[in-house]
């Protein structure tokens, strides 16, 4: 009953309604932007919004195929044959590209696929596209999956990464669990969701704003004396306040997740949930499907949320007003937004990847790992452990802070 009372106490505040309404509208706007801004070209011009999305999905209807060596070899040879006819070729300086019917009929419907194939053969830092496919020698087959392994090996051995032998072996082992041949298909909605997770930081901030007065609001209203002198004021009521805060956080954030994921999935469709992440970038080492990757990252963001609620409650138990709580909390959440990593190794970069704003980003193609002696952990694992530990550490101090508060 106490938990229900404290939960309804949070829920019935006018400020809660305002903050949540603004946050949900902002989330809908931010995750709806890719739909509103979407555009694709065909021979007649540009198609925008839902019309463009429908056209793009139609173009991908015949591309749900296993990427066997034979299929990729044939795709590369087809492009090479098109480039052999000079009537099909245009130039931009030294760069050549296909024009006219050769482009619109044979390249445009599967340009993303062809670009992905071309990038697999390119050097790690090289920008390339389908127009580099004529340079490949496929007389003995494409050897696509050997090229994948070779590119991953180049990334692991890049001097700038400074990976230890144990870290290299860790990533080789993980990449080795990716099943081949890859299956290709349409995956636009999942790509948008994966690239937009950091926008959920505004939802986390909104929830923390609502939770901030849980303890400090009692100090501000002068009701702390009544609560702490009551029979359960220093025991069950504190637990109820904490549980109610987490219950509200889970329900409110789940609603934001439904909006954030629901809009792209409604517009672009759920197609591609079962496809491997590697069709977006062949050097991704995690053996995840798009759905698995989204669920894992959402799980980590929930842990970040729980840690931030715990920090909010801790600050709330120590501060006399909710405003002081937010003065500290906002920089903690958003200061990392203004910091840019200059690599994937070194104390600065490895710390930055774990700070709240950066930690919401999947970063699954960057080979970010943490070594503790002979133990190597990837960034996803470390984020999960770190934010679980922070929650476990801060909650007892939040409880203790309110329990030991000296009534003035």
Same domain, 383 and 273: yes
Q: Is the dihedral of CA 178, 184, 186, 191 positive or negative?
A: positive
pLDDT for 341 beyond 50: yes
Task: Indicate whether 235 pLDDT > 70.
Answer: no
Which residues, 6 or more positions from 26, have their beta carbon under 8 angstroms from its beta carbon?
A: 202
Residue 233 is predicted with a pLDDT of: 47
Q: Locate all alpha helices (DSSP H) within 319-352, ordered by sequence.
A: 322-334, 347-352
Of the residues 175, 205, 233, the one at which a domain ends: 175
Burial class from Cβ neighbours inside 10 Å (0-12, 13-18, 19+) for residue 297 reads buried
Q: Which range of residues forms the domain containing residue 359? A: 2-36+186-403
Query: pLDDT tier at 399 (50, 70, 90 boundaries)?
Result: confident
Which residue in the block uniquely carries the two structure tokens 């939960």?
7
Which residues make beta-bridge pairs with 129? Answer: none
The 8 Å CB, 24+ separation contacts for 271-275 are 271/57, 271/185, 271/186, 271/187, 271/188, 271/189, 272/185, 272/186, 272/187, 272/188, 272/189, 272/190, 273/190, 275/183, 275/184, 275/185, 275/187
125, 154, 175: which is the final residue of a domain?
175
- For residue 220, pLDDT over 80 is answered with no
201 with 317, same domain: the answer is: yes
Same domain, 345 and 263: yes
Count of domains forming the chain: 2
Query: Do residue 80 and residue 148 come from a single domain?
Result: yes
pLDDT tens sequence across 303-338: 999 999 999 999 988 888 888 889 999 999 998 888
Please indicate, yes or no, whether residues 161 and 209 belong to a single structural domain of this protein. Answer: no
- What's the pTM? 0.92
Question: Could you tell me if 196 and 344 lie in one domain?
Answer: yes
In this predicted structure, the answer to whether residue 222 has a pLDDT above a threshold of 70 is no
Evaluate whether residue 78 is within a structural domain: yes
CA dist., res. 283 & res. 294, Å (int):
18
Q: Is residue 215 part of a domain?
A: yes
Using left for φ > 0, alpha for ψ between -120 and 50, and beta otherwise, residue 266 falls in: alpha
Per-residue confidence band for 239, with pLDDT thresholds at 50, 70 and 90 = confident
Most confident of 57-71, 125-139, 184-198, 308-322: 184-198
- Domain end marker among 121, 156, 175: 175
Of 35-49, 166-180, 335-349, the least confident = 335-349
Mean pLDDT of the region 86-101? 88
Whether residues 255 and 195 fall in one domain: yes
The answer as to whether 42 is a domain residue is no
Has residue 43 been placed in a domain?
no
Same domain, 162 and 233: no
Dist CA 135 CA 113 (whole Å): 17
Do both 269 and 393 map to the same domain? Answer: yes
What is the structure's pLDDT at 402?
67
The reply to whether 218 and 124 lie within a common domain is no
Residues 6+ apart with CB under 8 A from 94: none
52 falls within a domain: no
Q: Are 310 and 202 members of one domain? A: yes
| Angle at CA of residue 360, ends 356 and 363, nearest 5° | 120
Statement: residue 209 has pLDDT above 50: yes
Assess if residue 125 is contained within a domain. yes
Residue 312 shares a structural domain with residue 248: yes
Mean pLDDT of the chain: 90
Q: Evaluate whether 31 touches 196 at the Cβ level (below 8 Å).
A: yes
- Which band of pLDDT confidence, cut at 50, 70 and 90, is reported for residue 407? very low
Q: What is the dihedral of CA 63, 67, 70, 74, to 10 degrees?
A: 40
Q: Is residue 227 part of a domain?
A: yes
Answer whether residue 68 shows pLDDT above 90: yes
Kindly state whether residue 163 falls inside one of the protein's structural domains.
yes
């Amino acid at each position: 009953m106490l938990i229900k009372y404290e939960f309804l106490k949070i829920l019935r505040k006018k400020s809660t309604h305002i903050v949540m309404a603004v946050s949900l509208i902002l989330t809908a706007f931010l995750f709806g932007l890719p739909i509103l801004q979407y555009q694709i070209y065909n021979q007649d011009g540009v198609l925008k919004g839902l019309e463009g999305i429908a056209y793009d999905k139609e173009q991908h209807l015949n591309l749900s195929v296993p990427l066997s060596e034979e299929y990729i070899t044939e795709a590369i040879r087809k492009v090479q044959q098109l480039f052999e006819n000079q009537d099909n070729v245009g130039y931009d300086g030294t760069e050549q590209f296909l024009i006219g019917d050769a482009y619109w009929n044979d390249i445009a419907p599967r340009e993303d696929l062809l670009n992905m194939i071309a990038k697999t053969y390119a050097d790690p830092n090289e920008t390339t596209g389908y127009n580099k496919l004529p340079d490949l020698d496929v007389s003995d087959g494409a050897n696509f999956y050997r090229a994948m392994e070779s590119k991953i090996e180049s990334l692991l051995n890049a001097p700038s990464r400074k990976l230890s032998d144990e870290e290299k072996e860790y990533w080789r082992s993980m990449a080795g669990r990716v099943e081949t041949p890859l299956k290709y298909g349409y995956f636009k909605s999942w790509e948008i969701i994966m690239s937009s997770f950091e926008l959920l930081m505004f939802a986390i901030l909104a929830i923390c704003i609502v939770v901030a007065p849980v303890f400090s609001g009692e100090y501000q209203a002068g009701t702390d004396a009544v609560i702490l002198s009551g029979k359960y004021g220093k025991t069950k009521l504190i637990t109820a306040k904490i549980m109610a805060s987490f219950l509200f956080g889970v329900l409110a954030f789940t609603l934001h997740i439904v909006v954030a994921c629901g809009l792209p999935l409604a517009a672009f469709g759920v197609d591609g949930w079962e496809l491997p992440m590697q069709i977006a970038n062949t050097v991704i080492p995690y053996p995840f499907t798009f759905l698995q990757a989204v669920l894992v990252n959402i799980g980590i963001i929930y842990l970040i949320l729980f840690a931030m609620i715990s920090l909010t409650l801790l600050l709330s138990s120590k501060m006399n007003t909710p405003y002081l709580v937010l003065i500290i909390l906002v920089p903690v959440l958003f200061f990392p937004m203004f910091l840019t990593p200059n690599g994937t190794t070194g104390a600065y970069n490895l710390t930055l990847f774990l700070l709240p704003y950066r930690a919401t980003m999947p970063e699954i193609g960057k080979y970010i790992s943490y070594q503790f002696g002979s133990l190597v952990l990837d960034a996803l694992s470390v984020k999960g452990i770190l934010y679980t530990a922070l929650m476990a550490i801060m909650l007892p101090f939040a409880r203790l802070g309110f329990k030991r508060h000296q009534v003035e």
